[in-house]
Amino acid sequence: MKRIALLGMPNTGKSTLFNRLSGSSARVGNWPGITVDLMSAKILMGGHIAELIDLPGLYDLQGYSDDEQVVRHFLSNNNLDLVIIVANSAQIDRQLSLAIQIRALGLPSMLILNMSDEAKRAGISIDEKAMSLKLGMPVVKISAKYGDHCPEALKTAAGVLSKNKLPIDAEHINGQLQQDLNVEAEMESIVDETVQMPIQLGNDLTSRIDKFLLHPWLGLPIFFAAMYVLFQFIFNAGKPLQDGIAWLLTLFRTNALEPLLINTPTWLSGLLLDGVYNGLGTVAAFIPIIVLFFLIMTMVEDSGYLSRAAFLVDALMAKMGLDGRGFVMVLMGFGCNVPALMGTRVMRSKNMRLLTMLVIPLSLCSARLQVFLFMTATLFTTSQAPLVLFALYLVSFSTIFITAILFKNQYKNNEPFILELPPYRFPTLRQIWLRGWQEVKYFLNRASKFITIGVILVWALTHLPMGLAPASKATFAGQIGDWFSTVLNPIGIDSQLAIALIFGFVAKEIVIGALAVIYGLQGDALMHLMAQKLDWVQGMSFMLFTLIYTPCLSTIITLKNEAKSWLFAWISILWSLALAWVVSFIFYQSARLLGF
Amino acid sequence: MNPFLSQTLNNLKPGEAAVISSIDADKSFFLRLAALGFRIGKQIELVRCASFNGPLHVRIGSTDIILRRSEAKRIQVRSL
Ligand SMILES: Nc1nc2c(ncn2[C@@H]2O[C@H](COP(=O)(O)OP(=O)(O)O)[C@@H](O)[C@H]2O)c(=O)[nH]1
């Protein structure tokens, strides 16, 4: 099978072209020599099936950024039949350098001048025949977004493929990558003879919008207002959808599964229903949120506003070792950690991305909010409860801040902060939808197995050995709660609450349900009993611990998938457990010392 | 601005344009700058600065770029 790679600077439309060519056959795969995932797809090209790979964006083949190293490693470990260089036509005067560098490697290549629609509007004209002659490779103008001339580009690519019989050996490329070239002079001479740019460049509309959105005083308030609106939209629209899925799942369970399993032993039906089926339900609950999140994020990203957000809040973020795009993801984490972690993929520096992923699980997501709403209503008066909630949000922000400061040297960002501000664009519906769908597919492929296993494990802990009341003291979970009593007593958490914490590891939504099972009561009766058994200091300590100790199983699995490392997931778990304990300890002991 | 005096990019005022006269950067940063269009002799305009001593927004040809002040200090410019 022939192998073709798409290569180009960031934001030139590689992914857009990739999606257009690949349709729905795209998948994520591992490649020799590199640790990041790349999208690839099988496409039909001039009678052959070829494999198309979307490489990360790079500025210079000799650059040192994480992505540039990935591309270099890819080129020197994988044999290729064709490299398709994608360039933004409006910036061809500086992007031609990549084509010259690739040609010097001796790889069969062609150049795609993308965004021809924008170039035309800006009055830029390029003589692609002359450019092709000078460059010694085919040159095709297309618009990946609107699909103009994409079939021609495919035909040209097929032509190049049929000319070469053998792929170029990657070993050979490795040697070639070292050599220095004088790209500058050649690029200038080609551009001089083949490109005509109007004297007055610049996008008028974009400048005018920027004047408003990047305004020295208005910029930040607009940013926060926009984030608030998007946030509200994602999570308010997501809630009914999640409820709907939960309703359907329960319906199916009571009307189909339970009657079906009526004659099986209790342990088996428990395992199947409360373990496996609930595990799948946990996975399903994330689908609407992930779709909505990426529908919105695609708009924010593709419109070009995300880079502008980076501009606006960078001054506040730089001290924490984070950047503005990371900040947007942390804010979104207050809705749900899982898509926020997936969204950090826009950050191209690996270390900064890891640091951002380390702090996102500390943001008080809506699932934790539900637990706190219940607990504060149980333990505090209606006038105190909002203040307690506010305090919990403050604690959440503080733990994010402290974690970032403490770990910023561990995950030191070594890439310069220098970003392009693309002109404002609006993504097509097709682009928005495709992205939402791809991300859900990715989440389901990667996460559903581990999440289900985790849910089954927690079911086993709280229901075994057989024949015991669920979540009672004699179950494994109860025993674990006892073992940990020496560490949990100093923070005011008794063994029954400890069992609730074990449930909370799966998902915070089920903590209240778990308490109901543990105490054997529901609703108001549960509230009464808890208010009797716990004083507010204990309750607060429990809430602080719940806030920090671990977000949920799905977050942890996503963290592991995105970082591609169990080690990193463990660091995150252990750090948050330790931090949770210390914060609760300080709170509980000082409150007791002060006589509360 | 005195035409014979060169200054660093971060000292320009919003709306002011100048010509890049030298770039003091290690190889990796130099390559990145070059790929984004920062070359000696090119005209550059400071469009705006973010508040709280935040990054700068500059324009070279058709490309708008944001960069931190610490990075802008390494770029020398002279007046047109
Ligand atoms: N006007 C126009 N915009 C495009 C075209 N191709 C891609 N884009 C937009 O350019 C931006 C960057 O595209 P993307 O595919 O993410 O670039 P990548 O970083 O190279 O993968 C997105 O907002 C796209 O919608 C095109 O042909 N014309």
The predicted-structure confidence for A38-60, as pLDDT tens digits, reads as follows 888 998 887 778 899 999 999 99
Mean pLDDT lowest among A110-114, A205-209, A262-266, A566-570: A262-266
Residue A373 backbone phi and psi in degrees, to 5: -60, -45
Helices A204-213 & A305-317 angle (0-180, nearest 10): 40
Contact B66 A202 (CB under 8 A): no
Residue A596: the pLDDT is 80
Contact A220 B68 (CB under 8 A): no
Residue B1 lies in a domain: no
- Given a cut of 80, whether residue B45 has pLDDT beyond it is yes
Contact B57 A416 (CB under 8 A): no
Cβ-in-10-Å burial (0-12, 13-18, 19+) of A229 comes to exposed
Residue B51 lies in a domain: yes
How many Cβ pairs within 8 Å bridge chains A and B? 113
For a mutational test of ligand 1's pocket, the pick from A143, A145, A439, i.e. the residue with the most ligand atoms closer than 8 A to its C-beta, is A145
- Assign A348 a pLDDT band (cuts: 50, 70, 90): confident
Contact B54 A311 (CB under 8 A): yes
Query: Could you tell me where the beta strands, DSSP code E, fall in A89-238?
Result: 109-114, 125-126, 139-141, 195-196
Tokens of A536: 């507010």
* Chain CA centroid to CA A532, Å: 42
Contact A184 B64 (CB under 8 A): no
Q: Quick one: closest CA in A to B29, which residue?
A: A416
Residue A112 backbone phi and psi in degrees, to 5: -110, 120
Spell out which residues of chain A touch residue B29, defining contact as CB-CB under 8 Å.
416
Residue A316: the pLDDT is 83
Please give the average per-residue pLDDT across A220-242, as a whole number: 88
Secondary structure of A422-480 in HEC code, one letter for each residue = CCCCCCCHHHHHHHHHHHHHHHHHHHHHHHHHHHHHHHHHHHCCCCCCCCCCCCHHHHH
Residue B18 lies in a domain: yes
pLDDT tens, position by position, A232-279: 888 888 888 988 988 898 899 889 888 888 888 888 888 888 878 877
Chosen for mutation from A125, A183, A421 (greatest number of chain B CBs closer than 10 Å) is: A421
CB B37, CB A94: distance < 8 Å: yes
Q: Is B14 on the interface with A (CB under 8 A)?
A: no
CB A292, CB A231: distance < 8 Å: no
- Nearest by CB to B68, which of A9, A206, A417? A417
Higher pLDDT, A263 or A113: A113
Cα atoms in the Cβ-side hemisphere of radius 13 Å centred on B77:
24
Q: Is A214 on the interface with B (CB under 8 A)?
A: yes
Please give the average per-residue pLDDT across A271-293, as a whole number: 83
Measured between alpha carbons, how far is A124 from B62 in angstroms, rounded to an integer? 11
Q: Quick one: closest CA in A to B69, which residue?
A: A417
Higher pLDDT, A143 or A375: A143
Q: What does the DSSP assignment read for A499-523?
A: HHHHHHTT-GGGHHHHHHHHHT--H
For a mutational test of ligand 1's pocket, the pick from A14, A15, A16, A300, i.e. the residue with the most ligand atoms closer than 8 A to its C-beta, is A16
Which A residues 418-447 touch B at CB under 8 Å?
Answer: 418-423
Could you identify the residue written with the tokens 């540039």? A68
Spell out which residues of chain B touch residue A94, defining contact as CB-CB under 8 Å.
35-37, 61, 63
- Assign A168 a pLDDT band (cuts: 50, 70, 90): low
Q: pLDDT > 90: what percent of chain A?
A: 33
CB A397, CB A547: distance < 8 Å: no
Cβ-proximal residues to A301 (8 Å cutoff; 6+ apart), any chain: A346
Residue A489: the pLDDT is 85
**Greatest mean pLDDT range, A159-173, A202-216, A365-379, A579-593:** A579-593
Question: Cis ω on the peptide bond leading into residue A465 (within 30° of 0)?
Answer: yes
Residue A441 backbone phi and psi in degrees, to 5: -60, -45
How many domains are there within chain B? 1
Three-state DSSP class for residue A86: strand
A435 lines ligand 1 (CB under 6 A): no
- Given a cut of 80, whether residue A494 has pLDDT beyond it is yes
- Chain B nearest C-alpha distance from A519 (Å): 53
Residue A144: the pLDDT is 93
Q: Is A62 on the interface with B (CB under 8 A)?
A: yes
Q: What is the ipTM of this complex?
A: 0.92
- Given a cut of 70, whether residue A181 has pLDDT beyond it is no
Task: Measure the N-to-C terminal CA separation of chain B; round to a whole number of Å.
Answer: 10
Helices A219-252 & A278-302 angle (0-180, nearest 10): 150
Determine which residue's CA is closest to atom 22 belonging to ligand 1: A302
- Given a cut of 60, whether residue B2 has pLDDT beyond it is no
Measured between alpha carbons, how far is A152 from A140 in angstroms, rounded to an integer? 8
pLDDT tens, position by position, A430-458: 888 888 888 888 888 877 877 788 777 77
Higher pLDDT, A199 or A284: A284
CATH of the domain at B39: 2.30.30.90
CB A4, CB A157: distance < 8 Å: yes
- Assign A318 a pLDDT band (cuts: 50, 70, 90): confident
Residue A54: the pLDDT is 93
Q: pLDDT > 70: what percent of chain A?
A: 94
Contact A94 B50 (CB under 8 A): no
For a mutational test of ligand 1's pocket, the pick from A11, A14, A117, A294, i.e. the residue with the most ligand atoms closer than 8 A to its C-beta, is A11
Output the CA A344–ligand 1 centroid distance in Å.
Answer: 19
- Domains of chain A, CATH where assigned: 2-202 (3.40.50.300)
A19 lines ligand 1 (CB under 6 A): no
pLDDT tens, position by position, B52-62: 889 999 999 88
Mean pLDDT, chain A, rounded, equals 86
The domain in which residue B45 lies consists of 6-79
Determine which residue's CA is closest to atom 9 belonging to ligand 1: A13
Number of Cβ within a 10 Å radius of residue A596? 11
Q: Is B2 on the interface with A (CB under 8 A)?
A: no
Residue B63 lies in a domain: yes
CB A439, CB A561: distance < 8 Å: no
Which atom of ligand 1 is closest in space to residue A144's alpha carbon?
Answer: 27
Measured between alpha carbons, how far is A398 from B16 in angstroms, rounded to an integer? 40
Residue A201: the pLDDT is 60
- Chain B nearest C-alpha distance from A154 (Å): 27
Cβ-proximal residues to A91 (8 Å cutoff; 6+ apart), any chain: B37, B61, B62, B63
Q: Quick one: closest CA in B to A307, which residue?
A: B66
Residue A567: the pLDDT is 95
Which B residues 23-62 touch A at CB under 8 Å?
Answer: 27-29, 31-37, 39, 47-55, 57, 59, 61-62
Residue A458: the pLDDT is 77
A302 lines ligand 1 (CB under 6 A): yes
- Nearest by CB to A419, which of B53, B61, B65? B65
Spell out which residues of chain A touch residue B10, defining contact as CB-CB under 8 Å.
none
Contact B59 A65 (CB under 8 A): no
Please give the average per-residue pLDDT across A51-72, as a whole number: 90
- Given a cut of 80, whether residue A34 has pLDDT beyond it is no
Which atom of ligand 1 is closest in space to residue A431's alpha carbon?
Answer: 25
A144 lines ligand 1 (CB under 6 A): yes
Residue B4: the pLDDT is 57
- Given a cut of 80, whether residue B1 has pLDDT beyond it is no
- Nearest by CB to A9, which of B34, B35, B39? B35
Which atom of ligand 1 is closest in space to residue A142's alpha carbon?
Answer: 27
- Assign A397 a pLDDT band (cuts: 50, 70, 90): very high
Output the CA A308–ligand 1 centroid distance in Å.
Answer: 17
Output the CA A276–ligand 1 centroid distance in Å.
Answer: 41
CB A175, CB A107: distance < 8 Å: no
